[in-house]
Every structure is written in structure tokens, then in C-alpha cells.
Structure 1
Amino acid sequence: MERGAIDVGSLDGPFDLQATLESGQSYLWRRADGRAYEADGAHGGDHTYYTVVPPIEGVNDERAVVRVRQRGGVRDGTLEWESTTDATGILTHLLRLDDDLEAILAGTPDDPLFERAYDAYEGMRLVRDPPFSCLVSFICSAQMRVSRIHGMQRRLEDAYGDPIDFDGETYHAFPTPDALAAADEEDLRDLSLGYRAPYVMKTARMVADGEARPEMAADMDYEAAREWLTRFVGVGQKVADCVALFSLGFLEAVPLDTWIRSVIADRYPDCDRGGYVETSRAIRDQFGGPVAGYTQTYVFHYLRSGGE
């Protein structure tokens, strides 16, 4: 086992581990006490979270188990980690610790709603989830509360993920494309995937067969990438935006979910252009252009948790 710590005070801007991992962006981390996503408005806690990370080009060569806990505040605390390898680079990548958060938020438009959201969840950052697991997670997200989406991913890992022993515990990786491609549809339905089960299977087969991989969109222009991602079964424009934002680094992406559409209706009605693409372009400008996805994520977490 390797251990280490990251000084939050050394980052460009604050960081809040709980808000980042329990804000509906990522469903791939488990909380050690099993209570992730039980409460809305999560922030500021000192809980331990863990995940199994696949190889990431330029970051880690082998699959790794990572456990992390935040001690202290969002500006002067410490991220304490334990892992099968040096996890500093992994955590920096997955949790976007290399973002200049203060500069990003300072570059967004003045709006009292934005300011309230930023203040309520100070230090929340976007995530960079592995592309395939992010894709499957958001295929499962349609018409689901975040706690149920999280539960689906846990059941998928336990049923189809490779077991890995670490520090006396057994952890499960997210299933590989091959594993999900070979899954039985009824078994997936029994894991509460419902009508999403064939979508997950068919998308996994596309990846396993080499027909397409979500990371292939990373080098495209944003709107081209979003459209390209809709080739996967069960992926519409909104799910494609989630994958673009929470995995592929397109910080301009603004997934048009129920909460953001309510903001458009209440505060920016001129941005409702009818179609998804046109409305997305209009609200993106209002939310901060190149970093609009950060604003979207803060506003989503704030409103979903009872703000306003």
C-alpha cells in the first residue's frame, strides 16, 4: 500500500471532496459508510471515498484502487489518500485539482443565482470520469434520481466487475465493455436497469467490437463531439453533454436537464429556442461560454438540493 497527502491550500482555489463526489456528476465513487447520495446538498464532510481506476493514458498504467478522505477546510485542508500506487496524479486528473477554480468562476457572468450556488458549495469541482463508465452511468440516468443511478452502478460493479483485493478488502472495478456486452439482458433488468438494459448491452458491444469508443470524441470540436456521442445506443443530446462535460473535458457543455430548463424558463426565457442545439448555444453564452459547464453544475446541485 502507498499513502500520501495533497495540501488543498496549494491548489488554485478551494476544493470540497464531498460536494464534488455527491453532486450528480459522478456515480463511480463509493462512500465507505455506504451513505453516498442519501442526503441532498452534500458538502464539507470528511468521509472516505473509494473507487477502482482503469488505466488512463498519461496518468496511470495499471488499474488502481484509490481511497481518499478530506481533513480540514476547503481552503486549508488535506486530501489523505491510500492506494495500490502513487495516487497524486490520479486524483489530480479525476478531481480536476489542476483547474484554477477561482479564475474559472470569476470569468462567469454576474448573476445572483450563480453567486448563491458558488457560495453554498464552495470548492466543488468538475470531475474527469473514465469515458466508458461515465457513458454507461448516464445511459442509466434517464428519469432517475441521483441516488438510484448511483445504486445501479454499484450493482453493476458487484455483478460484473473484476474483484481486486486491497488492504484486506475486496473491491470491484467497473465492468469492462466485454463483460457488459456478454451480459444477459434479464439479469441487467434485475439490477434495476429496466428498459436501459438493452441500451447498456448494445453500447458495450459497440465499444467491445471496436466500432466506437467514447474517448474518440475528445479531439473533436465540442458540438461535433456531442453529436458524435449520440451514435451510442440510449444516448441523446443531454446524455452526450454529460459525457462531454464530466469525462471528456468539454467545460462549455451545458446538459439541459429539468433544473437547467427551469432556470431558462424563469430567468432566461429568450434562450429557449425550441430545439436542443439552439437552446444549448444560447444558454451557454449566459452561463459563461467556455466554462459554462461549471456554472451548470453548481446551479444544478444548488437547485436540486433545495436552493431558491
Structure 2
Amino acid sequence: MESGEISLSALDGPFDLQSTLESGQSYLWERADGGTYTDLAAHGGNAWYETVLPATTGLTDQPTLLRVRQRGGVDDGALEWEAGGVLEGSTTPSDPADGEALLTHLLRLDDDLETIYEVTMDEPLVREAVERYPGLRLTRDPPFGCLVSFICSAQMRVARIFGMQQSLREAYGEPVTVDGRTVHAYPTPEALAERSEDDLRGLSLGYRAPYVQRTAEMVAEGEANPEDARGLPYEEAREYLTKFVGVGDKVADCVLLFSLGYLQAIPLDTWIQTVISDYFPECEGGNYAETSQAIRERLGAGLPERDEVFGESGPDAYAGYAQTYVFHFLRTGEN
């Protein structure tokens, strides 16, 4: 295992590990102390978090164990990390890995949060959320795990969604051994495709079980892949993801925002629908697409354009950041 440290003072803006990983956008990391999603107003913690990153083009050629914890504050603290690749046929993370590069990608440490704050905080509700949870950043989760997580999210609290993903990992994910403990990788599409609906219902997935099984089968057999949405214009990317069973516009927007880098996406869940009704009634449209466009433009108004290799760059380019802050703020009852 390699180890190192990332100074937060070198970033463009603050960073808070706990609110980033426990704000309802990611269910693929686990706290080593077993306390993931037990703190409602998650912010400022110093626990170790762990995940097994699957082989990812441009990042790693093999599954890689990542461990990270935060020491100190959001502006002047540091991230301590450990990382190691798991060679084929092994269960130990023995191959050297660049944890700093992996964490920069997964936790969006390369985002200019200071610039985003400068404009979004003109909106009073967003300003309140940012002041309460400074340093929350969006994630770049692996697409398949993100997709299944949000297929499981319908009518579920975040702790329950996390529990489902933990059960999937422990039942069908490959084990990785570190310091005498076992951390499980997220199941591959092939592993889940082989399971029956009854198998998945046995993990408390309920009516979502056939959706997860069929989606895994689609990816395993090459029928579709969430990765293929990357690079499409935003509206086309959202439409592409709805071909997966159990995926509507809201789940598609979650995958686009929390995995594929479409920072203009705003998933219209119950919390954001409440925000629209109470704060931005002029954004209520006749359907999902119209409301989505109106609230994206409202929350993203005046933001600087961003230079991306895909998706649109324009007035809504960072609206998803505003949405994520507001979601975490309202969900934790801080307003």
C-alpha cells in the first residue's frame, strides 16, 4: 500500500470529506468505524473512508483499494490516504497506486469551488447551505455502482440506500483484505446479472430487485452501458440512461451529476420539488424536462462557463452544485 497526504490549502476552495461522502450523492464508500450515514448533519468528521475502485480507463488497470481521512479544517487541513492495486488472483492491495490522482478524480478536488461560491451564494438559500456545509464537493463515482445505487433510491432514506449497496457488496463483491479486515468491491455487472430476482429480494431490494438484475444483464451482455452516455449533449445523455430498467429522468440526472460530470444536472426529487414550490414557483413547468430546464437556469444564472470535453457550457453549467448543497441542507433539517 502506498500512502501520502494532500494539503487542502493547495485547493481552489475548501473541502470537507464527510459531507462530500455522506450527503446523499454517493453510496460506494464505507466508514471504517461502521458509521456511514449515521450522522444526520454530516460535516467535519475525521473517520477513515474506504472503497474499492474498479479498473477505470485513464485511472487504474486493476481494482484498487482507497482509504482516506481528513485531518484538520476545510481550508487548512489535509487528506491522509492509502492506496494499493489488487493484482489478478490476489485479495491484498499490494501493487503501488497513486492515491492523490485517484482522490482528485473521485472527489473532484480539481473543481474551483471558490469561483462557484462567488456566484451561487448570491441566492439566499444556497448561501445558507454553503455557510453550514463549507467544503462539500460533488463526486465522480464509478458509473455502474452509481446507476444501481440510484435505481435503489426510490422512496428510500439515504441510510437505507447505503444499506442496500453494502449488502450487495458483501454478498457479491470481491473481497479485499487489509489490516486483518475485509473490504468488498462493488459487484461487477456480470456478478449481479447471474443472480436471480429472489436472490436480490433477499437483500431487501424489494420491487427494485428485477430492475437491478435486468440493468446488470444489459451492461454485462453489452446491450447498454452507462459509460456510453458520457460525451453526449446533456439532454441526449439523460435520454440514453432511461433505457435502463427502473431509470427515469430523476435517476438519470443523479448518474449524470454524481458520476459522469454533467454539473448542470438537477435531479428533481422530493426535496428539490419542495424548494421549487416554496422558493422558485416560477420554475414549475408542465413536465420534468421543462421544470428541469427552468430550475437549472435559475440556480445557475450568472455562473462562469466551464471548459468541458462534453456537455454544454453555459448559464446552467454548475447548477448541480447549488442543488446538492440545498438537498443536504434541507434533508438534515438545518433550514
Normalised TM-score (structure 1): 0.98
Of 294, 300, 304, 2:327 maps to 300
Check the 8 A contact 2:120/2:127 in 1, yes or no.
no
Structure 1: any 5+ residue segments left out of the alignment? none
Q: Does 1:173 align with 2:185?
A: yes
Letter in structure 2 aligned against 1:291: Y
Check the 8 A contact 1:109/1:287 in 2, yes or no.
no
Once residues 31 and 25 of structure 1 are traced to their aligned partners in structure 2, the CA distance between those partners, rounded to angstroms, is 15
Aligned counterpart, 1:129: 141
Q: Does 1:216 align with 2:202?
A: no
Once residues 248 and 199 of structure 1 are traced to their aligned partners in structure 2, the CA distance between those partners, rounded to angstroms, is 21
Check the 8 A contact 2:16/2:74 in 1, yes or no.
yes
Q: How big is the shift at 1:167?
A: 3.2
Of 204, 209, 217, 1:192 maps to 204
Check the 8 A contact 1:256/1:280 in 2, yes or no.
yes
Once residues 141 and 220 of structure 1 are traced to their aligned partners in structure 2, the CA distance between those partners, rounded to angstroms, is 25
Q: How big is the shift at 1:208?
A: 0.2
Once residues 66 and 39 of structure 1 are traced to their aligned partners in structure 2, the CA distance between those partners, rounded to angstroms, is 22
Check the 8 A contact 1:129/1:247 in 2, yes or no.
yes
Letter in structure 1 aligned against 2:264: E
SS in 2 for 1:286: helix
Q: How big is the shift at 1:63?
A: 0.8
Aligned counterpart, 1:150: 162
Q: How big is the shift at 1:83?
A: 1.5
Structure 2: any 5+ residue segments left out of the alignment? 85-96, 301-315
The aligned length equals: 308
SS in 2 for 1:192: coil
Residue correspondence of structure 1 range 134-283 to structure 2 within 5 A: 134-283=146-295
Letter in structure 2 aligned against 1:290: A
Letter in structure 2 aligned against 1:252: Q
Q: Does 1:110 align with 2:137?
A: no
| RMSD over aligned Cα atoms | 0.9
Once residues 124 and 135 of structure 2 are traced to their aligned partners in structure 1, the CA distance between those partners, rounded to angstroms, is 18
Aligned counterpart, 1:37: 37
Normalised TM-score (structure 2): 0.91
Aligned counterpart, 1:14: 14
Q: How big is the shift at 1:42?
A: 0.4
Letter in structure 2 aligned against 1:73: G
Q: How big is the shift at 1:109?
A: 6.3
Once residues 13 and 166 of structure 1 are traced to their aligned partners in structure 2, the CA distance between those partners, rounded to angstroms, is 33
| Cα offsets for 1:53-92 (capped at 9, x unmatched) | 0112111221111110100000000100112122111100
| Cα offsets for 1:131-154 (capped at 9, x unmatched) | 000000000000000000000000
Q: Does 1:67 align with 2:61?
A: no
Once residues 4 and 193 of structure 2 are traced to their aligned partners in structure 1, the CA distance between those partners, rounded to angstroms, is 37
Q: How big is the shift at 1:186?
A: 0.9
Check the 8 A contact 1:71/1:78 in 2, yes or no.
yes
SS in 2 for 1:143: coil
SS in 2 for 1:110: coil
Q: How big is the shift at 1:168?
A: 2.6
Once residues 175 and 236 of structure 1 are traced to their aligned partners in structure 2, the CA distance between those partners, rounded to angstroms, is 23
Once residues 80 and 168 of structure 1 are traced to their aligned partners in structure 2, the CA distance between those partners, rounded to angstroms, is 20
Aligned counterpart, 1:88: 100
SS in 2 for 1:290: coil
Once residues 113 and 176 of structure 1 are traced to their aligned partners in structure 2, the CA distance between those partners, rounded to angstroms, is 40
Structure richer in helix, relative to its length: 1
Query: Which consecutive aligned stretches of 4+ in structure 1 deviate over 6 angstroms post-superposition?
Result: none
Once residues 274 and 143 of structure 1 are traced to their aligned partners in structure 2, the CA distance between those partners, rounded to angstroms, is 23
Aligned counterpart, 2:92: none
Q: Comparing both chains, which one has the higher relative contact order based on Cα–Cα distances under 8 Å and sequence gaps of 6 or more?
A: 1
Aligned counterpart, 1:48: 48
Once residues 112 and 307 of structure 1 are traced to their aligned partners in structure 2, the CA distance between those partners, rounded to angstroms, is 14
Distance 1:67 1:109, change over 3 A: closer
